Amino acid sequence: MTADLGSARAIMRRGALITGLGLVGIGVVMVLAIGYTPVEINQGPAQKIFYVHVPAAFTALWIAVPATAFASLLYLWLKDPRLDRFAAASAEAAAVFCGVVLSTGPIWAKPIWGAWWTWDGRLTLTLFLFFLLLGYQTLRAAIRNPLERARFSAVISVMGLVLLPFIHLSVYLWRGLHPKPIVLKPSAPSLPPEMLKTLLIGIACALILYVGFVTCRYGIQLARDLKESADAA
Amino acid sequence: MGRMLRLVITIAGKDLRLELRSRTSLLSAAVFAVLILIVFNFARDPTAISTIDLGPSVLWVTVSFAAVVAMNRAFNVERENAAFDGLLLAPVSREVLYLGKYLANVAFVLVVEAIALPLFVLFFNLDIAHALPGLLLTLLLATAGFVAVGTLFSAMVVRTRFAELMLPILLLPFMVPPLIYAVKTTVLLFGARPLSDVAEGLRFLTLYDVVFITLSVLLFSAVVDE
C-alpha cells in the first residue's frame, strides 16, 4: 500500500515537472509573440493573443475532449479504473483550456469585434463545452461510491460527445464572426513563417502543459482512490 | 416485440397510476409551470414588446423548466423502501425498464404542457389557432428528445448528493439544441408560415430524438448495473 502511494507521488512529481516545462514554454511563446513575430496589419497588437488562444482551443477541442470521451467509452467496455482516472484528469485539463479560450477570446474580441461577447457559433459551442465539463466535475464531486462515479461520469462524457455535433448544428444557424481557418486548410497556411513557427511552438507548449496537467491529476486521483479503498477496507 | 411493448406499458402504467393516486408531483409541476408564466407576464414591458414576439420564448422557457422539475420525480419515487432494487430484480431487460420509465416521463411532461399551453394562450391573449397543429407536433418532438436524456440522467442524479440541483446542471446543456430549433419553429408557426418552412426544424428535432433515445437505451444498463 505504501509503495502504491509512493508511485502516486512519483507520478505527481513527474506531472509537476512537465507542467513547469510547459509553463516555461508558454513564457517563451509570449516573448516570441512580442519580440519575434511581425505585427498583423489589420488587427495590430491585439492579434498577439492568437498565440495563446489558438493553442489552448486546439488542445481543448481536438485533444483533451476527444481523449476524455474515448477513455470513457473504453471504460464502459473494459471497466479499468486507470481509464476512469485518465478521463477525469483529461476532463479537468480540458476545462482549464476552455477557460483560457473563453477568457482570452473576449480580450481580443473587444478591440476587433467591438464587443466582449457575441453569440458567434464557435464561441457558443466552446461555452457549452465548458458547461458540460463543469457538469462533469460537479457530478464526480457529488458521488461517493467510486464505481458508480466512474460509470456515471463515463456515461455523461459519451452523451456529451454526441451532443457536440447537435450544438454545432444549432448554433451555426447564426452567422459566424470567427476568422476563417488559416493553418488547417487544403491550401498552404497563409501566415508569415515567423507567425506560423510561433503558433506551432505555442501548440507544442500547450500540449506539454496538457500532458503535465493530466499526469499530475492522474497521480492525485490515484492517491485518492488508494485512500478511498484503504478507508473502505 | 409485442411482449416487450406490453412490459414497457406495464412499467409506465405503474408510474402513472402512482402519480394519479398521489397527484403531488403532477400538481406541483403544473403549478410551477403556471407560476413561471405569471412571472413572465410581470417581467416584461407590454408596451415595448408585443406578446406575439415574446410568446415563443415564454412558452419554451416555461416548458423546459417545468420539464426539469417534473423529471426529477422519475427515480425519486423509486428511492423509498428501495423500490428500485425491486424493479431491477424484475424479470425484464434493462431496455424495457428504461423505455417504461421514459414513456411515463413523456406522458407526465406532456400533461404538464397540456395544462400550461392553454394558460399561456389565455394569459398572453394570443390567437394561435392556425399554428396549433404544428405547435403540438413541435412540442411532442422536442419533449420526446429531452425527456430521453432527462430520464437517463435522473436515474444517475438520484444517487448523488444535491440531486435536485444536479439534474438541471447536467440536463440544460442537452436541452439547448432542441430548444433553439423549437423556438425557431414556433416563431415561424406563429407568423403563419407554411409547413414547408418549418420542415427543417422538425427534421432536426426528429434526428435529435432518434439519436438520444437510442443512446439512452444503450447506456441505461451502464447506469443501473453494478
Say how many CB pairs under 8 Å bridge A and B.
Answer: 75
Q: Kindly state whether A155 is in contact with chain B, defined as any CB-CB distance less than 8 angstroms.
A: yes
> Which residue would you say has higher pLDDT here, B195 or A157?
A157
Q: Average pLDDT, stretch B148-154?
A: 94
Q: Which residues touch A12 (CB under 8 Å, ≥6 apart)?
A: A215, A216, A219, A220, A223
Determine, for residues B169 and A163 on separate chains, whether the beta-carbon distance falls below 8 Å.
no
Residue A48 CA to its chain's centroid (Å): 20
In the predicted structure, residue A184 carries a pLDDT above the cut 80: no
The Cα A189–Cα B132 span in angstroms is 52
In percent, how much of chain B has pLDDT > 90?
45
In the predicted structure, residue A50 carries a pLDDT above the cut 70: yes
Determine, for residues B173 and A135 on separate chains, whether the beta-carbon distance falls below 8 Å.
yes
In the predicted structure, residue B214 carries a pLDDT above the cut 70: yes
Lowest mean pLDDT among A138-142, B82-86, B179-183: B82-86
In percent, how much of chain B has pLDDT > 70?
100
> Which residue would you say has higher pLDDT here, B47 or B115?
B115
Interface of B with A (CB under 8 A): 149, 152-153, 156-157, 159-162, 166, 169-170, 172-174, 176-177, 180-181, 184, 204, 208, 211-212, 215, 219, 222-223, 226
Could you tell me the pTM of the whole model?
0.88
User: Which has the closest alpha carbon to A166: B170, B65, B184, B204?
Assistant: B204
Domain segments of chain B as ranges: 2-224
Q: Which string of DSSP letters, residue by residue, matches chain B?
A: -HHHHHHHHHHHHHHHHHHHHH-HHHHHHHHHHHHHHHHHHHTS-TTTS-HHHHHHHHHHHHHHHHHHHHHTHHHHTTTGGGHHHHHHHSSS-HHHHHHHHHHHHHHHHHHHHHHHHHHHHHHTT---GGGHHHHHHHHHHHHHHHHHHHHHHHHHHTTSTTHHHHHHHHHHHHHHHHHHHHHHHHHHHHTT--HHHHHHHHHHHHHHHHHHHHHHHHHHHHHH--
Mutate to test the interface with B, among A155, A161, A168, A173 (most CBs of B within 10 A): A155
Give the pLDDT confidence score for residue B124 in this predicted structure: 86
Provide the domain count of chain A. 1
Q: How far A128 CA lies from chain B's nearest CA (Å)? A: 6
* B107-141 pLDDT, tens digit each: 999 999 999 999 999 988 888 888 888 999 999 99
> Which residue would you say has higher pLDDT here, A171 or A5?
A5
* B54-108 pLDDT, tens digit each: 888 899 999 999 898 888 877 877 877 778 888 888 888 899 999 999 999 999 9
In the predicted structure, residue A175 carries a pLDDT above the cut 70: no
Q: Average pLDDT, stretch B158-170?
A: 86
In the predicted structure, residue A187 carries a pLDDT above the cut 80: no
* B4-28 pLDDT, tens digit each: 899 999 999 988 898 888 888 888 8
Domain with A189, as residue range(s), is: 2-232
In the predicted structure, residue A183 carries a pLDDT above the cut 70: no
Lowest mean pLDDT among A103-112, A148-157, B136-145: A103-112
Give the pLDDT confidence score for residue A165 in this predicted structure: 87
Give the pLDDT confidence score for residue A188 in this predicted structure: 59
In percent, how much of chain A has pLDDT > 90?
52
The Cα A57–Cα A168 span in angstroms is 15
With bands split at pLDDT 50, 70 and 90, how would you rate the model's confidence at A191?
A: confident
Per the prediction, chain A carries an average pLDDT of 87
CA torsion angle for B30, B36, B41, B43 (degrees, to 10)?
170
Instruction: For residue B34, count other CB atoms closer than 10 A to its CB.
Output: 18
* B166-176 pLDDT, tens digit each: 999 999 999 99
In the predicted structure, residue A91 carries a pLDDT above the cut 60: yes
Per the prediction, chain B carries an average pLDDT of 88
> Which residue would you say has higher pLDDT here, A46 or A7?
A7
